[in-house]
């Protein structure tokens, strides 16, 4: 999907890894877009964006300093906006275990503020970014994102006659994103040792361009109330360590607070309302409302098997050491060399 000359987009958390890549994509592929508003609380990163996209060359870009904890500021930023991508969140699992209320204020109450602000303005479509950790969560971060997902899905019940759709995209680790495991392993490999929490650990993997394509697809295809999940490969943490530092010592440190051995994006309980959508799965609400909307719009619903689950450990598609190495070279660090 490309945004047209009438599109007026706001992205919360627009100075993060996803936000910056998404803005670059939109300005490159849809330069005629009417407005792109970056809403974030990071003044320095907004200034850095301004250097990359000067106003004279990119008059459609607006930088709006604000926090999603501030509903009135959100309403002001959303004036004249028709499309919202919600990427703002606190994300570090250990930090959430030690600072739970901070994560709740941003990830849960912030999501509620955005829903209410959208209902008070003329926004027409909202896609919120979620995480695999929101499925059967065992950590505070995942639980806060599950609450966020529920708020966006439930918002479709209170929109009334408004031309407004709320949906969610849920995906796994974005390769090379800020604070993620790959940059950490690359840094640690320079010291000759790579710390690994558990040798059996697996994770889903998606690259930034795939996450952007998915969000754009959801903006176009969502009818409201779905949680979309991509069909993506997994990797074994030991294979990742081998891809980055084959000659490094692998030190087992033990699982951190709130960490899982395997991540899950669709639980067995979700399987009863999950359908196939080509490159993606769609988890529909259990009240059948979205199924009826799909049928009215001529969309065929192909359900997954009852009892199906989508887990990074039982995934049929795993990346090899060589595949990981090539992906890292392409998507993380062009000068990367295994040590």
Relative orientation angle of helices 110-119 and 140-154, to the nearest 10 degrees: 10
Query: What DSSP string runs through 11-80?
Result: EETTTSHHHHHHHHHHHHH-TT-SEEEEEES-HHHHHHHHHHS-TTT-TTEEEEE--TT-HHHHHHHTTT
**Per annotation, catalytic residue among 91, 133, 165, 260:** 133
| Catalytic residue list contains 133 | yes
Residue 337 tokens read as: 């060399």
Query: Which token pair is 68?
Result: 């999603």
List, in sequence order, the alpha helices (H) in 126-170.
Answer: 140-154
Listed residue (23, 2, 18) closest to 210, CA to CA: 18
Query: 287 to each of 120, 153, 159, how far by Cα in Å?
Result: 26, 12, 16
Closest-CA residue to 21 (of 303, 279, 209, 283): 209
Determine the Cα–Cα distance for residues 325 and 323; give it in Å rounded to an integer: 5
Q: What is d(CA 122, CA 163) in angstroms, rounded to the nearest whole number?
A: 8
First to last CA, the chain: 40
The catalytic residue positions are 133
């Amino acid at each position: 999907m490309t945004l047209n000359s009438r599109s007026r987009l706001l992205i919360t958390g627009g100075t993060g890894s996803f936000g910056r890549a998404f803005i670059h994509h939109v300005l490159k592929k849809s330069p005629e877009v009417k407005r792109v508003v970056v809403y974030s609380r990071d003044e320095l990163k907004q200034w850095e964006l301004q250097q990359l996209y000067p106003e004279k060359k990119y008059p459609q870009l607006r930088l709006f300093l604000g926090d999603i904890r501030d509903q009135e500021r959100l309403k002001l930023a959303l004036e004249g906006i028709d499309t919202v991508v919600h990427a703002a969140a606190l994300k570090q699992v250990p930090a959430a275990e030690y600072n739970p209320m901070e994560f709740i204020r941003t990830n849960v109450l912030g999501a509620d503020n955005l829903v209410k602000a959208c209902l008070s303005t003329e926004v027409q479509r909202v896609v919120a970014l979620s995480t695999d950790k929101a499925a059967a969560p065992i950590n505070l971060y995942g639980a806060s994102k599950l609450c966020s997902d529920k708020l966006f899905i439930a918002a479709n019940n209170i929109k009334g006659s408004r031309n407004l759709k709320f949906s969610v995209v849920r995906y796994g680790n974005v390769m090379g994103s800020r604070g993620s495991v790959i940059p950490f392993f690359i840094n640690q490999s320079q010291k000759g040792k790579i710390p690994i929490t558990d040798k059996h650990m697996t994770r889903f993997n998606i690259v930034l361009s795939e996450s952007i394509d998915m969000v754009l697809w959801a903006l176009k295809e969502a009818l409201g109330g779905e949680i979309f999940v991509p069909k993506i490969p997994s990797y074994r943490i030991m294979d990742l360590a081998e891809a980055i530092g084959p000659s490094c010592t692998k030190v087992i440190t033990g699982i951190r607070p709130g960490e899982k051995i395997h991540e899950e994006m669709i639980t067995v309980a979700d399987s009863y309302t999950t359908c196939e959508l080509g490159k993606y799965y769609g988890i529909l609400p259990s009240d059948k409302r979205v199924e009826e909307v799909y049928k009215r719009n001529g969309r065929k619903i192909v359900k997954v098997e009852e009892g199906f689950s989508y887990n990074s450990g039982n995934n049929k598609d795993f990346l090899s050491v060589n595949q990981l190495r090539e992906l890292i070279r392409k998507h993380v660090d062009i000068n990367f060399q295994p040590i």
